[in-house]
Chain A
Amino acid sequence: MTAASWSNGSKSTGARVRAATSSSFPASSSCSAYRSSGVVGGGGGGSAAARSLCTLPTTRMSAQACWHYPNQHDRRRVALSGASSSLGQARISTLQYPTSSSTSRSFPQLVRQQQQQQQTQQQCRRCYSQLTAAIESMPAGNSSGSSSRSMMGAASVSSATKSAASGLHSTAFPIQATTGSVGRMAPTMAFTPATSSPRRRYSPQHFYQNRILDPYVHQTVTPITLRQLVFFGRNMQPDKLLKSANYVRTELPVRLAHRIRDFQNLPFIVGTNPHIELVYDLYWQAFEKLRKVPEIKTLDDNEKFCELVKGLLNDHLVVIPQLALGIMECSKHIPPEVVDQFMNKMLRSRISRRVLAEQHISLTANYNSPNHMMTDRGYIGIIYTHCNPRDIVERTALLAAETCRQAIGGGIEPPKVVLDGNIDAEFSYIPDHIEYILYELLKNSMRFVMLRNNELNSQQQQPGGELPPIQITVCEGTHDIVFRISDRGGGIDPETEKYLWSYAQQSARFANFEKVSRMAATVQEQLVSPSRGTSSPQDVEEEEEDEEDIAYKSGVAATAADNDDSSHDDDESVVLPPPPKPVASRRDAKSGSKDKVTPVIQLDRHAREQYRLKKQHQHQQQQQQHSTGAAAASPTPQMIDPSQQRGQPVAKKVGHLDPRQQQDTAVHLGIGLPMSKVYAEYWGGDLKVFTMHGYGTDAYAKFCKFGNIYENFNV
């Protein structure tokens, strides 16, 4: 029974990452070889194994990861993020097969599997003494051999808390031996002490170690308001920066702990789902890392802390797709209400943590930039204090139109957007949030208007003509700003409407997530590829030193590769002006007449602020594209698929869908609406959708304009 065959036998074909890694994994026979070499040889063994991995298909990123992991302090994010997910997946797919197989395999298979498992177990026991010896012989970083051994006895929880992460990792091996699935685990463990989980779900250690969590779970979170963030972020001083850092440092573990506990309260069978398990592991890792950060006393400490957080942010980009898949696969084990509540909690908390983290990182970055006093431009960290409906709508409408144009095709122009109301209102908000919501809503509207038009055309009811426009009315009230997005796309049928906000009710809702490995749920994701085509080759050579930065940014941005077939992957793209221009064009638009709308997408101040990073990001993409050679020849702007970046085979993915279907599903992940609602509600706003079936749909996105509502965690 090999990991590869498991993954083949598995019904859930899984996310690309998972499939790729499981197939890339060596058979169990060779596994033991890796295991011993990896453990005994430490870094050297790891590299040897990594080379072996390299020879297998699709493992470039795993290899990268493996190369970098031994050197914990010089981790590179690109490699790490991909690798962590792949390794996590691999670990899970190997570790978990006893349970996951129960859902995906027949009974005889199961029996056979168990027999094999027992054999493996015996083998493992034989290896046991070797292994423990190996652990003790491990060099520096894995110093706590003794504590490992004490933990093997599952006796000392306190030693577990005290021991360094690496110590914990190393103790994981013998634990494996008792769980019976050790064979496949060992190589991963050997190479990647840093990212492998500090515990094993089925081990007594994990259970007792869980006490670490308790004090954190008992702490309540300290909610903040948007306005507090704004006020705090003004006139940044070193002491304020440190204060911010320490707030984030103490707050994140608490928030994580609450979510970890939520996972732990799920039914056991759900917890054994590989997708859920992966996220759970990620959370535990993040929790472990963050809680161990000592108080931040200097700006240098802060830098390191920021690096850590960036890395975590990046690692966690797989969370949404994995959660969605996990929930989808577990739908028969949990009642829908529980699923919805769980997911809402998860997503809200995720936003909250990302807001805290990104805000702090952004504040730090701003502070570090040489002329930070001059470069404020309305930005306080990730908050923009001059959010303007007109800008937001123009930008998101162009993006959405581009997405739909590519996805639905047929030469139909997306419907126009007519904007009225208080379009020049101004308020403070996190542009990422509001843009994500409006993009999703507009995309939906356009998509359905276009599809309906096709339908009517095919019935010859409506001979050509312009599509009915999407009408956006902005209303500024005393407390709120409401965007009403009104389309004539035929509305939503009652059955669908019933489950519009549910994560659980339509079991196949998230099926498209199998094609998406990472998702940040920001509109930035849609901005990724465009300018690749426009940046000149020489740009590629510049600014390589900032790779970590880029990686962070690209991590945020690159993703959501819904569509993998190269003919469609420009779904995610949009025509951005060439990098050097946006600032100017933006100014033009501002000074120009109000009713004149510039036809190009305008990078606003937000974009300006992020311009540097984005440019780097683009360069990096370009670079990677060149290096992989995957899409360089294509004349059209293309989506950078993270897997593509890392040299994964593209062909693996959809393929069998007919193009039309594929195009359409590409823009339809199924999480857009619930996610938008979570975003909207997060700062005390709201999102409502009312439909007139047979005619059209109105969506009302409400935002609190003063930002004086506390983060909304409660579902």
Chain B
Amino acid sequence: MMSTATLPFRGMHQQSEAGELDDVVSFYDDKVAQYATQGIQTVTLKKLLGFSRQKSGATTTPSTTTTTTTASDGSGPVRQKQQQQDLEANLEMARFARAELPVRLARRVAAMQKLPFIVGTNPYIKQVYKLYYDSFQTITGIENDIRNAEDLDEFAGILHGLVASHADVIPMLSQGFLECQTYMPKADIRVFLDEMIRARIGIRLIAEQVISLREQREEDDASGGRSRGYVGVVNTALQPAELVRTCANFVQELCDVNYGSSPEVVINGQTDTTFTYVPVHLEYILCELLKNSLRATVEQSAKIGRRGQVIAFGHGSGGVLGDEATAATSGGDQRRHATSSRPPSSSSSSSSSSIVTVLTDDALDETQQPNEYGHPPVEVTIAQSEHEVTIRIRDQGGGISREHFDKVFEYSFTTVKNENEQDADGDLHETPYGVDNIFKGVSRLAMQAGLGGPIAGLGFGLPLARIYAQYFGGSMHLISLDGHGCDIFLKLKQIDETLDDLQI
């Protein structure tokens, strides 16, 4: 703010475009450029955790960043000491955020300044630009050092406001670039958005960490101890199976609302897996993937007439060749694959000397049976090894046709144009019935309302999910079995294993 005070037109613009971004101001503002040229200080998750790890410094187990309830059983002095440590950690995090966030915001602002002029004039893009610019100004405008709890409260409050104001950035960008397609090459848009979103994740992560550490501290003070595995936004004892179940329940409900029925979600594999991760990220990914899978399964059921159909979608006349063949060979019963934890029962007729068993429906594990609506289950398998956690999601939603496959990871506006309601979701499966948008609309509302939490930026579906997955060095791969379904492999690093490599 200080640096803009000398600008000649400042007053004029403030008058004429009150509430709008002051373009000229930002033009003459070299503070952004100054900050933007600073390299970002890469934060490793170790650092992120480390700020709070001191919390448990008194305990003898450095590997567990959270102390167990036993810590709180201690006497008053111990607790006081701990509180002091918590505060220190929180303060350090806040100071780091205060120094780092402006740089990162400035880089985003600078990146947007490099967009073609016409793109920059798009109202949505401009709005986002303004948001970033304002946020930058706000944080650099903080004069006080963060020295004590009061400073921290104030700073956290500011951050909270900023985070809230950025909630709609993704939909805005989506809409903005949808409108700008003609002015920018696809590839450039993609690069820009990738960077933008990745940076956004980092920025939010830092901000969230400050906020939630503070909240935790308050809660701890209130409850008199800690029992969660959370350190800020990081959960050191995240159970993917549990999270999958939560997401599945939520998505199933959405599915029920829109289609009247939904497939089961079977969770198997190493369901007792526990690891360190940022749950909101995983939550977003899982919801996105499950939503796609469930939707595709239900639609595929309608398309090929899987029995037990409750909702009359009319039976697809075309049908994928493969599915018809399936139907023919199995008398209308769909065959499904069973990756149960136990081998299929020996109800199949083959003798013991045979190696190959053709799977019949009787041989299906109970959990693999289609439900009362005829939907085969969506199968989620969890595996853990020393370095990584893999989550595989299998559905029988007919897969993605070859033509569409290459596009599913594109930012969706490139595949769906000129629709009234922009199809901002990664259009994972083909949707011949047009119920797509309703579902998505509801889903988005619901997600934004609650479950997606602060980082729910629905609108980019799959590509966004993949960026999240890759953020901590993981990966996400999608395999389409045309006519059958999709398999998705979500690989997540155990982030406490590879902390040093991870940069946020």
Contact = CB atoms under 8 A, between A and B. Distances in A.
Nearest to B268: A695
A695 B270 contact: yes
A397 B355 contact: yes
B383 A419 contact: no
Given A597-B357, A692-B381, A480 B482 contact: yes
A145 to B, nearest CB: 63
Interface stretch (B209-217, B245-253, B336-344, B457-465): B336-344
A244 to B, nearest CB: 32
A482 B354 contact: no
Contacts of B388: 494, 693
Given A423-B329, A471-B338, A475-B322, A599 B383 contact: no
B390 A695 contact: yes
Interface string A626-666: 00000000000000000000000000000000000000000
Interface stretch (B136-144, B200-208, B483-491): B483-491
A300 interface: no
A491 B384 CA distance: 10
A347 to B, nearest CB: 24
Interface stretch (A132-140, A309-317, A410-418, A536-544): A410-418
A417 B356 contact: yes
A595 B356 contact: no
A690 B487 contact: yes
A424 B321 CA distance: 13
Nearest to B398: A477
Given A595-B348, A695-B269, A469 B357 contact: yes
A397 B342 CA distance: 20
Contacts of A696: 383
Nearest to B490: A692
A414 B383 contact: no
Question: What bracket does the count of chain B residues touching chain A fall in?
Answer: 35 or more
Nearest to B391: A692
A424 B325 contact: yes
Nearest to A486: B339
Question: What bracket does the count of chain A residues touching chain B fall in?
Answer: 35 or more
Contact of A475 (B358, B477, B481): B481
A422 B329 contact: yes
B414 interface: no
B203 to A, nearest CB: 29
Contacts of A471: 337-339, 359
B365 to A, nearest CB: 11
B322 to A, nearest CB: 3
A423 B358 CA distance: 9
B381 A695 contact: yes
B479 A694 contact: no
B481 A419 contact: no
B350 interface: yes
Contacts of B401: 477-478
Contacts of A596: 349-350
B356 A690 contact: no
A478 B270 contact: no
A425 B383 contact: no
B255 to A, nearest CB: 23
Contacts of B114: none
Interface in B347-404: 348-351, 353-360, 363, 381, 383-388, 390, 392, 399, 401-402
Contacts of A598: 354
Nearest to B390: A692
For B337, B348, B349, B489, the residue with the greatest tally of chain A CB atoms inside 10 Å of its CB is: B337
Interface in A488-539: 488, 491, 493-494
A418 B383 contact: no
B356 A477 contact: no
Nearest to B402: A479
A595 B361 CA distance: 11
B390 to A, nearest CB: 4
A227 B381 CA distance: 40
Given A424-B325, A596-B350, A482 B338 contact: no
B83 interface: no
A469 B354 contact: no
B383 A695 contact: yes
For A393, A417, A418, A692, the residue with the greatest tally of chain B CB atoms inside 10 Å of its CB is: A692
Interface of A: 390, 393-394, 397-398, 401, 414, 416-425, 466-469, 471, 473, 475-480, 482, 484, 486, 488, 491, 493-494, 593-599, 688, 690-696, 698, 700
15 contacts: A394-B356, A418-B343, A420-B338, A420-B359, A421-B326, A467-B343, A471-B337, A471-B359, A475-B322, A692-B381, A692-B390, A694-B270, A694-B390, A695-B270, A700-B487
Interface of B: 269-270, 320-322, 325-326, 329, 335-339, 341-344, 348-351, 353-360, 363, 381, 383-388, 390, 392, 399, 401-402, 477, 479, 481-485, 487, 489
Given A394-B355, A597-B358, 5 more contacts: A418-B359, A425-B325, A475-B484, A491-B385, A694-B386
The 10 closest A-B pairs by CB, nearest first: A477-B482, A695-B383, A694-B385, A476-B322, A475-B484, A693-B385, A692-B383, A420-B359, A692-B390, A475-B481
